[in-house]
Amino acid sequence: MSWSYRPSARSDRDCPPCRRAAWAEVEKQLPARREKARAASAATGDEARELLAGIDIPESVPAPLVAGWRSVALTLIRRAMVAERAFGKTGAVGTAKKHAGQLLAGLPPGEAELRAAVDAREPVKILGKAHWPHGSLRVLGHDSEPPAEDPAAVAALRTWLRQALAGTDLKADAESHSTAAVTGLLTGLVRDWADAQPRTFRHNRWIGYRELTVPVTPGGARRYGRLDVVVNRPGRPDLVIEIDSAHNPRSVEKLLFARDAGAVPIWIRWLGGSLHEHPDITVIDLRAAQ
């Protein structure tokens, strides 16, 4: 058998100096391209809204999902208009409109999709955001688990947090940084606690998710709220946790909904203010530890 070698043509990929030169040329063009895109985008807002107004929205789609869809679709169409007018990408608007229609057709998610997410122990993605599937099942009228309690898990989390925060002045941290920073610290500690739970195999570990969207409009908001932490446990109810520095009726509303969807609702209070007792919500009071 004879072999022959035919050298390939040298490309920029094989020539670092050529690649640097090409990128330098692109960088020179970027300011002009950005300005061109900015100018084209400024004139697309009203036209894009008119285009969206011609799309029929099924009555079965909840208003918060409609609002989220409009925001996503408007961005898609405006970008497509810029692509067509400023950069000559023919057909971009038609493609964007088709994509927006497909997104709308998938709202709200069906029971099969939601139960698949529950079985996979993962959030369900709706319009690019992670949603708590148990909540979506309940609000769409599908069956859900009865309310649950787990005093042992709550006690273990309380002990973990108090030990982790020993010697920490959260009030001083809030004054020197922000309440959001302290909430982030507590969120991380809750997820660390979940990750530290004993497990035999990787698939039966506890998983801590943060900022999952829940189909509740707390306080009459237009958009759905988000849960600070959801701890998913194999074969056991989720722990749904809200973290607040003061009394927050919106957190109470979300936690009561989570309880009705079969989760264990836990409210972590850490700074001050009055503590309103709710018989259906377990409170971890860290105020006395300050």
Q: Tell me the mean pLDDT in the region 277-289.
A: 85
Of all residues in the chain, the percent with pLDDT exceeding 90 is 64
Answer yes or no: are the C-beta atoms of 243 and 235 closer than 8 Å. no
Total domains in the fold of the chain: 2
Task: Report yes or no: 244 and 275 within 8 Å, Cβ to Cβ.
Answer: no
> Residues 204-218: what's their mean pLDDT?
95
pLDDT at site 147: 79
- The verdict on 143 and 223 lying in the same domain is yes
pLDDT at 5 over 50: no
The dihedrals phi and psi of 240, each to the nearest 5 degrees, come to: -110, 120
Res 13: pLDDT: 65
* Domain extent at residue 249: 129-289
Residues 173 and 133 both lie in one domain:
yes
- Supply the pLDDT for residue 229: 98
State the residue for tokens 């058998």: 1
Mean pLDDT, all residues of the chain:
89
233: Cβ contacts below 8 Å, ≥ 6 apart: 206, 239
133 and 268 fall within a common domain? yes
Residues 97, 236 share a domain: no
Question: Which of the four pLDDT bands, split at 50, 70 and 90, describes residue 4?
Answer: very low
Q: Give the pLDDT score at 289.
A: 56
Q: pLDDT tier at 42 (50, 70, 90 boundaries)?
A: confident
Sequence-separated contacts (24+) of 188-191 with Cβ below 8 Å:
189/160, 189/161, 189/164, 189/165, 190/157, 190/161, 190/229, 190/231, 190/241, 190/243, 190/268, 191/229, 191/231
For residues 184 and 223, is the Cβ–Cβ distance under 8 A?
A: no
Q: Is the peptide bond before 108 cis (omega within 30 degrees of 0)?
A: yes
Query: 54 with 89, same domain?
Result: yes
Give me 252's structure tokens: 């109470």
pLDDT band at 28 (very low <50, low <70, confident <90, very high): confident
Q: Report angle CA 274, 276, 281 to the nearest 5 degrees.
A: 135
Both 187 and 261 in one domain: the answer is: yes
- pLDDT higher than 90, residue 174: no
Does residue 138 lie in a domain region? Answer: yes
Does 282 fall in a domain? yes
Specify whether 82 is located in the same domain as 159. no
Q: Which of 142-146, 184-188, 260-264 has the lowest mean pLDDT?
A: 142-146
Is the separation of the CB atoms in 261 and 135 below 8 Å? yes
pLDDT at residue 146 tops 90: no
Comparing 104 with 288, the larger pLDDT belongs to 104
Q: Is residue 165 part of a domain?
A: yes
Residue 41: pLDDT over 80? no
